[in-house]
A and B are shown apart, each in its own frame.
Chain A
């Protein structure tokens, strides 16, 4: 079994009187596509926001195991540091691109910390000092590589806001990948895509996994989830319901009950199809 990259231990998130996530534990392993599923309002996005530093969890631990042995506690760490140091990248349920900037610029912004390691270096670059040119050229190369992989190289100089929906989704993934993540967190990447686009997305995600980046995704499209996931975690009402391979999850009674409210073989067949 592959090494554990991220372990979430009894994660709890409370908003006032609302317990959104209640002691959820799971693990993300290197080289896996891990899917986080569950009915609407189950707390999936909240878990994501805790992992990526947008929320400070009220309880529990999120540990990133780094290859050099150092463990990093992500709970309560500011979001930008989680990306910088723990190498966790994410996309958003409602796409958040820099709409007024070009496709290429979006990917360049993602490499901000590589091109400008600190403010002093950033200011020195005004006078052409430092190895800025070199770093910038390398960043453009990497952006070109990812544009090729998501099939957007032809549209590199167009504003991101003018791309069709499916292309925006792919661009957001490419942008996240430009930060060199070890875990890529995707919040409903297949939402609003047509069947052909979903297939392309599945292929892209599997190629990202094969390159050694673990993928953690929230998804409602069960076709995509069951086809590409190595590991599925089910949440319902903020509680972890099941944890296993896609085949195990398909057969799990609790999961079926959570999705349908009762056991009905015909509807189950519809969902897992």
Chain B
């Protein structure tokens, strides 16, 4: 009974975390277009209560219905956070834009961008164990690639997206070569410098990049040629579907674009983890010398990790450029790398769901606490410290084996190596 109560309590907490922000704090447009929050504590309380009672009932019902089966598969029936939170988050992410709240979707886009960046960096840091402090460089390469290709050659977003990814991957390999022999602190320093070099070049190469003025008027993405402008011509989204033109369509479309890109990142990296390449990355993190003794080409393995991680950074960068319609070197400072790395570390190195949760907590949380003004960073910092004290290996730590003869057993994080850089 106590176990059931605890289980229900955890579900209620998850519900509170998710709906507290989404339902409990809707923003309304008041007089003079002023945005203000309209807290709905009772709605949230009701939702949380429903989840609590529902979960409690479900657990009790299951316990009473087939006690024998449960005893048998005790090891199996443990609800892991990825089994519960994964589908739940996915559903929330799919329906989020339907709320139609512009602010909410904007925050969603922001969170999703960091989820994607986190998943991309996770390949390099979490799987291959290479500490990369300059990930923002690939984000910048992607963004500038799209902006420049679109401005110079008039190419569209969907043509430029793979190009931006390829260019970022190329730069990932360029970074990879000199740092192949470096480990730990030294690797971190060089990658950090690489991030800064890219930014400084963007800042000073005025003829190409516009320097500190950046690039503006970057074209928006289209849906099979349908534009998301405020007109109602036949070539616009609203006109084609006979809808009232609204900015929300464009924002929602952008949301689904980044959502799709993030899912792609997740799919590719989860799949790679179960393939020889991903296994070699993880083996590299565990012991590089043993890898060499087993005939694994450490150079190629490291370069592929850098390139594929960078490629997803490039995709995210191209998306960032098209979403903002304006980019400048200011958007690609070291703090971005630090935030993405914090998302990965906080989420748990190598854990997909952990990174997603951490991005929601860090980026979404940062938005929710915007009202606290100067206390925001204080609360934020405190929260990070608390998480790291309570769960030093991140929110979701450990790993599931990529292949197993029987049932795969979750491997605790203290068994794993964190890589030597």
A interface list, Cβ under 8 A from B: 52-54, 78-81, 83-84, 89-90, 92, 96-102, 104-105, 108-110, 112-113, 115-116, 119, 122-123, 125-126, 132, 136, 140, 144, 153, 156-159, 161-162, 175-176, 179
Contact = CB atoms under 8 A, between A and B. Distances in A.
14 contacts: A97-B286, A99-B415, A100-B282, A101-B279, A101-B286, A105-B279, A109-B291, A116-B275, A132-B275, A136-B276, A144-B405, A156-B404, A157-B404, A161-B415
A109 B407 contact: no
Nearest to A123: B277
B206 interface: no
Contacts of B159: none
Interface in B262-285: 268, 271-272, 275-277, 279-280, 282-283
Interface residues of B, number: 39
Contacts of B402: 105, 108
Contact of A175 (B280, B294, B399, B411): B294
Nearest to A140: B403
Interface stretch (B57-65, B79-87, B295-303): B295-303
B268 A98 contact: no
B417 interface: yes
Interface string B284-324: 00110111111111101000100000000000000000000
B295 A179 contact: yes
The secondary structure that dominates the A interface is helix
Contact of A105 (B297, B401, B412): B401
Interface string B389-412: 000000000010111111111011
B268 A113 contact: no
B401 A122 contact: no
Interface of B: 268, 271-272, 275-277, 279-280, 282-283, 286-287, 289-298, 300, 304, 399, 401-409, 411-412, 415-417
A80 B291 CA distance: 8
Nearest to A102: B401
B276 A122 contact: yes
Contacts of A132: 275
Nearest to B304: A119
A126 B415 contact: no
Contacts of A158: 409
Nearest to A110: B294
A262 B203 CA distance: 75
A156 B405 CA distance: 7
Given A83-B295, A92-B289, A110-B294, 15 more contacts: A81-B295, A83-B293, A89-B293, A99-B417, A100-B282, A100-B417, A101-B283, A102-B411, A105-B403, A108-B279, A108-B403, A109-B296, A112-B276, A119-B277, A179-B295
A80 B412 CA distance: 30
A156 B277 contact: no
Contacts of B417: 99-100
A166 B209 CA distance: 61
A80 B297 contact: yes
Contact of B399 (A53, A100, A110, A116): A100
B287 A80 contact: no
A175 B296 CA distance: 13
Nearest to B300: A119
A81 B295 CA distance: 6
Contact of B403 (A104, A113, A161): A104
B277 A116 contact: yes
